[in-house]
Amino acid sequence: MSTKDDLRRLDEDLAKLKQDNQDLRDQIRDMGATDQFEIAAMIAQADERAGLIAELEVRRETLRRRLEQD
Each residue's pLDDT expressed in tens, for the chain with a length of 70 residues: 788 999 999 999 999 999 999 999 998 888 766 778 888 999 999 999 999 999 999 999 999 999 888 7
Helices in 1-70 by DSSP H: which ranges?
Answer: 3-30, 36-69
pLDDT score recorded for residue 7? 92
Say how far apart CA 66 and CA 3 lie, in whole Å: 8
Cβ-Cβ contacts under 8 Å for 1 (sequence gap 6 or more): 9
Going by the DSSP 8-state scheme, the letter that residue 34 receives in this structure is -
Say how far apart CA 19 and CA 43 lie, in whole Å: 15
pLDDT score recorded for residue 26? 92
pLDDT score recorded for residue 33? 60
